[in-house]
């Protein structure tokens, strides 16, 4: 399955809606419209009109690469697996990792010196 459309499923949209978020999922190349009024239909129409790139730009879809980069760094520097089983403990484990990653990022930032 190609990257575009991999999450273009009713289950994905239901999960996004359950979390009260806005779905920014590009449709499959052969996508059809769903029931009238579904937010996905606007994206499908943009695809069919050759305006999917405009939709991606207008919705800041390309910013997803920043989150992908952050997750890659987290997994490479800290761990690609969680060691705790309890969900709340996993959240704490991730937050501790994020704090450590942020601290490492600050340590690696160049110090700016003003010239006189």
| pLDDT digits 0-9 by tens, 9-30 | 999 999 999 999 888 888 888 8
Block residue for tokens 């809606």: 17
Of 32, 37, 40, the C-alpha closest to 11 is: 40
Whether 31 has a pLDDT exceeding 70, the answer reads yes
HSE-up of 6 (CA within 13 Å, CB side)?
A: 4
Structure tokens that stand for 34 in this block: 């769903």
Helix axes 64-77, 87-107, angle to 10 degrees: 90
Give residue 5's pLDDT band: very low, low, confident or very high (50, 70, 90): low
Contact assessment for residue 73 and residue 95, using Cβ atoms and an 8 Å cutoff: no
Question: Which pLDDT belongs to residue 1?
Answer: 41
Q: Where are the domains of the chain?
A: 10-59, 64-107
32-45 confidence digits (pLDDT tens):
999 999 989 999 99
Question: Which pLDDT belongs to residue 74?
Answer: 86
37-80 confidence digits (pLDDT tens):
998 999 999 999 999 999 999 988 888 888 888 888 888 888 88
- For 73, the enclosing helix (H) or strand (E) is helix 64-77
């Amino acid at each position: 399955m190609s990257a575009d459309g991999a999450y273009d499923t009713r289950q994905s949209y239901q999960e996004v809606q359950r979390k009260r978020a806005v779905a920014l999922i590009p449709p499959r190349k052969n996508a059809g419209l769903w029931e009238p009024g579904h937010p996905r239909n606007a994206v499908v129409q943009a695809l069919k009109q050759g305006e999917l790139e405009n939709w991606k730009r207008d919705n800041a879809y390309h910013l997803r690469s920043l989150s992908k980069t952050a997750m890659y760094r987290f997994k490479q520097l800290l761990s690609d697996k969680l060691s705790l089983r309890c969900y709340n403990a996993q959240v704490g484990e991730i937050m501790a990792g994020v704090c450590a990653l942020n601290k490492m990022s600050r340590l690696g930032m160049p110090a700016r010196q003003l010239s006189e």
